[in-house]
Amino acid sequence: MAKRKPKSEGEMTWKDLEIGAIVTEPGNASWYKTGDWRSQRPTYDFKKCIKCALCQIFCPEGCILQNDDGYFEADMYYCKGCGICARECPTGVVTMVEEEE
């Protein structure tokens, strides 16, 4: 789902930058991977899910979307592992577990 940019910041040289480091491509914040900030990740027991969408509403990253079966799931490219979805879920669908390499 996340767009990837042609050259990552780590590959860009000073000559690749626009004047004043101006960004000329609108909406490219979506390239920015925040998923690697995560130290915990959400796991799901969808049997308990009532599809109330509270997790989606509370997610500060706005990265929780409905999957093909209508259950709510975080996009791991962006999920920072804050655990708010786990805390707010009224039926205990989400459990945070340690992120392992």
Partner 1 sequence: MAERVGIEVSVAIGDAARLANVDVIAAYPITPQTHIVEHLAELVANGELDAAYIPVESEHSAMSACLGSAAAGARTFTATAGQGLELMHEVLYVASSMRFPVVMTVANRALSSPLSVWGDHSDVMAVRDTGWIQIFTENGQEVVDHVFCAFRIAEDNKVLLPVMIHLDGFHLSHVIEPITFPEQSKVDKFLPPNSYPLPLHPDRPVTMGDFAPPIIYPEAKWAQEVNLRASKETILKCWQEFADIFGHRYSPVESYHGEKAKTLLLTMGSFSETAMTAIDKMRGKGKDVGLVRLRLWRPFPFEEFRRAVAGAETLIVVDRALSFGGPGGPVCSEVKAALYGEAKKPKVVSFVAGIGGRDISPSDFETIVNKGIKISEKGSPNEFEIFGVRE
Q: What SS3 state is found at 63?
A: coil
Burial of 67-92, coded b for 16+ CB within 10 Å and e otherwise, reads eeeeebbbebbbbbbbebbbeebeee
> Least distance in Å: CB of 59 to partner 1?
21
Of residues 22-41, those binding partner 1 (CB under 8 A): 22-24, 26
- Does position 10 bind partner 1 by CB under 8 A? yes
Candidates 96, 99, 101; CA nearest to 39 is 99
| Closer residue to partner 1, CB minimum distance, 25 or 45 | 25
- Does position 9 bind partner 1 by CB under 8 A? yes
Kindly determine how many residues on this chain lie close enough to bind partner 1 according to the rule CB under 8 A.
Answer: 16
- Does position 19 bind partner 1 by CB under 8 A? yes
Rounded to whole angstroms, the Cα distance separating 37 from 33 reads 9
> Least distance in Å: CB of 18 to partner 1?
7
